A and B are shown apart, each in its own frame.
Chain A
């Protein structure tokens, strides 16, 4: 029905365009004078008005769409046609169709850019509303400060501390892997690599960045985790089959391209004159990098790491597939831990009851996640603004 409505409205718009244009052309020849707007512009105005009216018709019909499905295309078509005829009836030589049309276009442009704000408001509203419902059932202090998380247990426990530590543990492993690898890769590519190597390595990193996380999760769960378990058992360590290490390692590899591409840009932005000055003092290349380039690039690199942390905390599929469900309060990377995102995903997959604390707790976790990532992004932005060096 929606598809039909769209097609009908488009057809109405095309019809309005052609009819208005021919009307205006007739008027032009009859008057043998000039119109304030070209016939095509009259056409565009009629088409735009028809489209907007049609859309409005469709929107009005949405509440009835379950019982009267036919109303959607009918209302849309009726509104579009009426609006088109009304516009066409107003065509006169002095009618400034172009100005009206451009006003409509400008309105559409502004409305489009407001969608971004509406999205943020929507996200905020959805997590806040359901969280408020959750905190009516569960004390906020219990949520923030107790160390038991078992939403399906009897009685259920909603202490999110173990989830926070689990998230931080996996994030820490990921960042510990990704930062040195990404940073050294970026330094090598920016300062040492030949153009040929650069040309070959860039796509490799881009490809790694483009691999969907569900694929990485599959790889972590089925290949990396058993590998770690077996090698751990071989040297006498007790490794859980869903160890934090496996998820963290793979997540770290996922983040390497992010850190390396951001750092690469930042290192390249350090002016050559700084390097030349250092070389002139007799420093080797690595000394120049360590003592001149990196300090100059540090704020940018810090902000890249912040973004990487925010990415790791919000990453879902790798941990859903490779990390555990049981929220253990531990910092042992070989044990199984659970994360905020894992709990959100598992709580909301399957049956949802929007009156039970179990389902609503996912939204409370969502609000925590939203603010953590928001804060990290804000810090990253502030670091860049605060310490940005202006070179010229």
Chain B
């Protein structure tokens, strides 16, 4: 009798099934590893960056000493000294010079500036006792968040026992430009720089890309010339982004003499960088519109251009815009070419126009990640959260548009 079971055939079938299972497991493991990597990456960034969205404050009643602030010359008043002195008075038992110095270092420089602004706005405060909000410096802030151990532990504990430390959302992170002081460094400059840069990239790249796509897809005859253009576009899509940086440096900065570090040049470079992507996406969208629509328009007497611009293009527009949003998301996260054209300098001022020196969000991340202060590591991760948040919003918008406007013919 022939036995058909796995055992009967010398275990061969069992081996084959085992190998089948193993093969399948490899695939599952590959997917699992990729997912775990992404999860670990996001967890790592978010856990590192989340605390940087908050800052530590304390507050103290203090007298605005008329000796230190002249009523006629408030701007030059020594507000830092007032704060320093009032804080010291709270801790009469701290006597050594070093400890006093350390104590003063817990308070951020910004506290004095804020007090000055308060008095400038209301000069009658001179001589009065007011409650002053004290922003803590980055190291003290990290300690109270439980992120670092430090030698100043005793002093810091003493400080918070006397002057309660509270945490609040750090609006400075959103409204300040870059700064050397971690607790004051903010993203507004970088975000505005990014908006200018990507805005210029879209302003130039979108029309160029769409026009090129329309020409290649709807009007161009197939000949050597259009073949050349097509090979070119496919090649450009694969050229490393840093090469576009070299182009920007040699052409736009050295040859045309455009300003360094300016979003204008950054936008030009990124426009050329995303151009192939926009062209390829737009061509796909144009190709998806059935030829019958164009032929119908031609049939009732429209010119070729009227058929394309009045009928084909509007139907392809959602697809074009979806592709453009994805291309812009890529431009938004691009760093390397912008390093080449000098958008990598320390710029504390928030840019007001596309020709001001500026930096962009990804470059800011690069800059901060390079700084030695521990507080900037946290800031870097927080900036990454902002960047990824913006990119995810852009992607969600693209997916939404695809779902809403996608038509199957």
- Which B residues between 288 and 306 are near A, CB-CB below 8 angstroms? 303, 305
B240 and A315 contact, CB distance less than 8 A: yes
Instruction: Give the chain A neighbours of B137 by CB distance below 8 A.
Output: none
What are some 28 contacts across the A-B interface (CB < 8 A)? A2-B355, A102-B303, A106-B305, A116-B279, A119-B247, A119-B272, A120-B232, A122-B251, A126-B251, A180-B26, A181-B30, A193-B31, A207-B395, A213-B336, A214-B363, A214-B366, A218-B369, A219-B45, A253-B34, A253-B37, A285-B24, A307-B238, A316-B242, A320-B336, A349-B339, A373-B239, A374-B235, A377-B238
Least CB distance from B36 to A in Å reads 10
Least CB distance from B303 to A in Å reads 6
Chain A 206-226 interface 0/1 with B at a Cβ cutoff of 8 Å (1 = within) = 111011111111110111000
User: Complex formed: what's the CA distance from A74 to B271 in Å?
Assistant: 27
B30 and A185 contact, CB distance less than 8 A: yes
Q: Does A317 lie at the interface of the complex (its beta carbon under 8 Å from any beta carbon of B)?
A: yes
Chain A 96-112 interface 0/1 with B at a Cβ cutoff of 8 Å (1 = within) = 00100010011011101
User: Complex formed: what's the CA distance from A330 to B362 in Å?
Assistant: 31
Instruction: Give the chain A neighbours of B45 by CB distance below 8 A.
Output: 215, 218-219
Instruction: Give the chain B neighbours of A109 by CB distance below 8 A.
Output: 211-212, 214-215, 219
Q: Does A366 lie at the interface of the complex (its beta carbon under 8 Å from any beta carbon of B)?
A: yes
A residues lining the B interface (CB < 8 Å): 2-3, 98, 102, 105-106, 108-110, 112-117, 119-120, 122-123, 125-127, 129-130, 180-185, 187-189, 191-193, 201, 204-208, 210-219, 221-223, 253, 256-257, 260, 284-287, 289-290, 307, 310-311, 313-317, 320-321, 341, 344-345, 348-349, 352, 354, 362-363, 366, 369-370, 373-374, 377, 381
Chain B residue, CB-CB nearest to A205: B34
Chain B residue, CB-CB nearest to A342: B242
- Please tell me which one of the listed residues A257, A290, A314, A321 contacts residue B240 in the complex, with CB atoms under 8 A apart: A314
Interface size (B, Cβ < 8 Å)? 87
Least CB distance from A356 to B in Å reads 14
Interface stretch of the complex, out of B111-119, B147-155, B327-335? B327-335
Instruction: Give the chain A neighbours of B215 by CB distance below 8 A.
Output: 106, 109-110, 112-113
Q: Does B195 lie at the interface of the complex (its beta carbon under 8 Å from any beta carbon of A)?
A: no
- Please tell me which one of the listed residues A188, A218, A222 contacts residue B24 in the complex, with CB atoms under 8 A apart: A188
Instruction: Decide yes or no: A192 and B362 within 8 Å by CB, A212-B333, A212-B334, A366-B246 being known contacts.
Output: no
A373 and B240 contact, CB distance less than 8 A: yes
Chain A residue, CB-CB nearest to B364: A214
- Which B residues between 212 and 252 are near A, CB-CB below 8 angstroms? 212, 214-216, 219-220, 228-229, 232-236, 238-247, 249-251
B residues lining the A interface (CB < 8 Å): 16-17, 19-20, 22-24, 26-31, 33-35, 37-38, 41, 44-45, 207-209, 211-212, 214-216, 219-220, 228-229, 232-236, 238-247, 249-251, 254-255, 264, 272, 275-276, 279, 303, 305, 329-330, 332-336, 339-340, 344, 353-355, 362-363, 365-366, 369, 377, 380-381, 384, 387-388, 391-392, 395
A215 and B387 contact, CB distance less than 8 A: yes
Instruction: Give the chain A neighbours of B212 by CB distance below 8 A.
Output: 109, 112-113, 115-116
A314 and B250 contact, CB distance less than 8 A: no
Instruction: Give the chain B neighbours of A180 by CB distance below 8 A.
Output: 26, 30
Least CB distance from A171 to B in Å reads 12
Least CB distance from B200 to A in Å reads 10
Chain B residue, CB-CB nearest to A6: B203
User: Complex formed: what's the CA distance from A112 to B28 in Å?
Assistant: 46
A204 and B219 contact, CB distance less than 8 A: no
Shortest 5 CB-CB distances between A and B: which pairs? A314-B240, A188-B27, A212-B333, A126-B250, A112-B211
User: Complex formed: what's the CA distance from A115 to B268 in Å?
Assistant: 12
User: Complex formed: what's the CA distance from A345 to B219 in Å?
Assistant: 41
**With contacts A310-B240, A345-B336, A370-B239 known, what are 12 further pairs, Cβ within 8 A?**
A119-B236, A181-B30, A184-B31, A201-B35, A211-B333, A214-B335, A284-B17, A286-B20, A313-B240, A314-B243, A345-B339, A362-B246
